[in-house]
């Protein structure tokens, strides 16, 4: 019996669900070679949506036939040959634009259908894939960008993430989920994974079993952002490292078979968890896998995925160095240069962070000073100013069909303006998004800026922003809250300048925006 039998007979399925039953999203992979031969005009419009399963979205305007591609980078770990391959794809096909996303992935723009088979083949050669980066399927796995080098990690999650990721890649048992399914697996005690905003997260934990302290994970379920955000809740179970894949498979199966498929806006796992509660969810989970009760949660203070500066690794004599990539965007030549530098001074690896930044690991302590003299680090800096260094932005109207306003360049301009005008001893994390979706994770920012359209005095529709304040995770986790009113985009720089100047003038030394 096909697993879809569980829900296929439901007459109330949404129209998207009925389409998915007619053709599974992964089948687009079989069609792409022919479309590439016959050109964009040969692709029926009703097939456009399926390209998501291949990690491809049509850019704005769709009719022009340019694609955005998201490449999965599980846990943000890139080998040297992977980094070089990504840079060369961007250079050859993507007008040299490379974006780091808030889930450690890499995005290209301006791709045409004719180029996709060659890009797939280049990715496959270096062990990368864009399949599952979008669509109703398990997305790339967010993890600890310091996995294996983190002096404080409870578990080195590199092999676990690889194992789980590849067991779900192109897995037809799980290619028709009710909606997107975002997971994270991390042993980082500073919650660099942003555990509470994932559908499923494995967070560092310990438990004494038969008198021995065992490092493993606790499980959070039901988080997610968008217009109805939920913080994930902790389930009363302890997972040993060797059980992570089994537990992931069990929870994905529960979501696949019991997740809601009648109304698309209620289809994320968070709605099922909100209705069931974690007790009922645990009971269901234990039908699939045997687990002990919780141990001790090891999450400490949240670092929001920032690792700026030079830090000692767990390995003696080696350092990792965190750099700022302003709003996550760089040029392909810069990425090639980073690949060269990471090979020359380190072991060639590069790590991406969900703060849209990078880490170069495995640099011998005695080589750190020479590395920092490289000219690229005049722009990609290790000690950035307090605004540009902590600004995050989604793609926005430049490429995204859902965007209402421009974001990326605007966020960069605003942050640079604030750095010029306001001096601060603590960072203020500002996230900008171009619509109510949450690719820029607006909800967890100190200051969230969400693009809207509104009428100005002349009754013309113009770009504007809503402002939200006070988002944080881990201790006292909460989403930011909307301030009254809307700000015209043209007034945003000045309003924010006044806002953060007030904070700078009134705060105590060392006081953070959240504590203010």
Catalytic residues: 70, 179-180, 434, 439-440
State which residue, 361 or 440, has the beta carbon closest to ligand SF4: 440
State which residue, 70 or 218, has the beta carbon closest to ligand SF4: 70
Cα distance between residue 20 and residue 136, in whole Å = 9
Hey, CA dihedral for 481, 485, 490, 492, is it positive or negative? negative
Name 244's Cβ contacts closer than 8 Å, sequence gap at least 6.
160, 164, 185, 202, 217
DSSP labels, 163-222: HHHHHHTT-GGGS--SS-B-EEE---TT-TT-GGGSSEEEEEEEEEETTEEEEEEEEEE-
Neighbours of 105 (CB within 10 A): 24
The least CB distance from residue 158 to ligand SF4, in Å, is: 29
The least CB distance from residue 141 to ligand SF4, in Å, is: 20
Cα distance between residue 225 and residue 215, in whole Å = 29
State which residue, 187 or 451, has the beta carbon closest to ligand SF4: 451
State which residue, 223 or 396, has the beta carbon closest to ligand SF4: 396
Cis peptide before 364 (omega within 30 of 0): no
Looking only at the bridges linking them, the beta strands covering 461-469 and 481-482 are: antiparallel
Cα distance between residue 319 and residue 322, in whole Å = 10
The least CB distance from residue 465 to ligand SF4, in Å, is: 12
Residue 240 burial (C-beta neighbours within 10 Å; 0-12, 13-18, 19+) = middle
State which residue, 55 or 396, has the beta carbon closest to ligand SF4: 396
The least CB distance from residue 133 to ligand SF4, in Å, is: 14
The least CB distance from residue 399 to ligand SF4, in Å, is: 8
- What are the φ/ψ torsions at residue 143 (nearest 5 degrees)? -150, -165
User: What is the SS3 string spanning 93-108?
Assistant: HCCCEEEECCCCCEEE
State which residue, 183 or 435, has the beta carbon closest to ligand SF4: 435
Name 505's Cβ contacts closer than 8 Å, sequence gap at least 6.
none
| Strand spans (E) along 282-417 | 296-297, 309-312, 318-323, 329-331, 350-352, 358-364, 391-393
The least CB distance from residue 340 to ligand SF4, in Å, is: 31
Which secondary structure element, helix H or strand E, spans residue 124, and what is its range?
helix 116-125
Q: Which two tokens stand for residue 49?
A: 């949506």
The least CB distance from residue 358 to ligand SF4, in Å, is: 21
Cα distance between residue 487 and residue 494, in whole Å = 10
**Residue corresponding to tokens 């100013």:** 385
State which residue, 353 or 435, has the beta carbon closest to ligand SF4: 435
The least CB distance from residue 402 to ligand SF4, in Å, is: 4
End-to-end CA distance of the chain: 58
Residues that bind ligand SF4 (CB under 6 A): 394-396, 400, 402-403, 433-435, 437-440
State which residue, 31 or 398, has the beta carbon closest to ligand SF4: 398
Cα 266 to its chain centre, rounded Å, is 21
């Amino acid at each position: 019996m096909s697993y879809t039998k569980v829900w296929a007979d439901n007459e109330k399925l949404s129209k998207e669900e009925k389409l998915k039953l007619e053709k599974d999203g992964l089948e687009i992979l079989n069609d792409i070679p022919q479309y590439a031969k016959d050109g964009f005009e040969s692709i029926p419009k009703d097939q456009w949506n399926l390209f998501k399963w291949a990690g491809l979205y049509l850019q704005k305007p769709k009719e022009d036939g340019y694609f955005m591609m998201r490449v999965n980078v599980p846990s943000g770990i890139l080998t040297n040959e992977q980094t070089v391959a990504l840079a060369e794809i961007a250079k050859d096909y993507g007008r040299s634009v490379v974006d780091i996303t808030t889930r450690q992935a890499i995005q290209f723009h301006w791709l045409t259908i004719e180029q996709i088979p060659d890009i797939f083949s280049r990715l496959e050669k270096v062990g990368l894939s864009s399949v599952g980066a979008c669509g109703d399927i398990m997305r790339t796995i967010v993890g600890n960008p310091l996995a294996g080098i983190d002096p404080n990690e409870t578990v080195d999650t590199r092999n676990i993430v690889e194992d789980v990721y590849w067991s779900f890649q192109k897995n037809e048992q799980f290619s028709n989920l009710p909606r997107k399914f975002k997971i994270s697996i991390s042993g980082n005690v500073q919650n660099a994974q942003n555990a509470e905003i994932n559908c499923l997260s494995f967070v560092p934990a310990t438990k004494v079993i038969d008198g021995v302290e065992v490092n493993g994970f606790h499980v959070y379920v039901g988080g997610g952002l968008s217009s109805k955000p939920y913080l994930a809740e902790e389930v009363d179970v302890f997972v040993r490292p060797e059980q992570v894949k089994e537990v992931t498979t069990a929870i994905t199966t529960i979501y696949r078979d019991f997740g809601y498929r009648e109304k698309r806006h209620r289809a994320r796992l968070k709605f099922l968890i909100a209705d069931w509660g974690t007790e009922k969810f645990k009971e269901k989970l234990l039908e699939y896998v045997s687990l002990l009760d919780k141990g001790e949660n090891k999450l400490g203070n949240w670092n929001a995925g920032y690792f700026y500066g030079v830090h000692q690794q767990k390995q003696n004599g080696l350092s990792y160095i965190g750099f700022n990539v302003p709003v996550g965007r760089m040029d392909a030549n810069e990425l090639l240069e980073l690949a060269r530098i990471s090979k020359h001074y380190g072991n060639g690896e590069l790590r991406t962070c969900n703060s849209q930044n990078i880490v170069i690991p495995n640099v011998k302590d005695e080589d750190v000073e020479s590395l920092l003299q490289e000219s690229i680090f005049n722009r990609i800096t290790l000690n950035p100013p307090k605004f540009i260094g902590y600004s995050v932005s989604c793609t926005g109207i430049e490429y995204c069909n859902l965007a209402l306003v421009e974001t990326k360049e605007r966020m960069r301009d605003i942050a640079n303006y604030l750095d010029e005008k306001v001096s601060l001893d603590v960072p203020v994390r500002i996230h900008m998004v171009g619509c109510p979706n949450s690719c820029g994770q607006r909800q967890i920012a100190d200051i969230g800026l969400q693009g809207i359209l509104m009428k100005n005095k002349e009754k013309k529709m113009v770009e504007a922003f809503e402002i939200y304040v006070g988002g944080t995770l881990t201790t006292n986790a909460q989403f930011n809250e909307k301030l009254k009113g809307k700000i015209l985009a043209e007034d945003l720089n000045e309003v924010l300048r006044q806002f953060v100047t007030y904070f700078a003038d009134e705060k105590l030394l060392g006081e953070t925006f959240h504590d203010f």
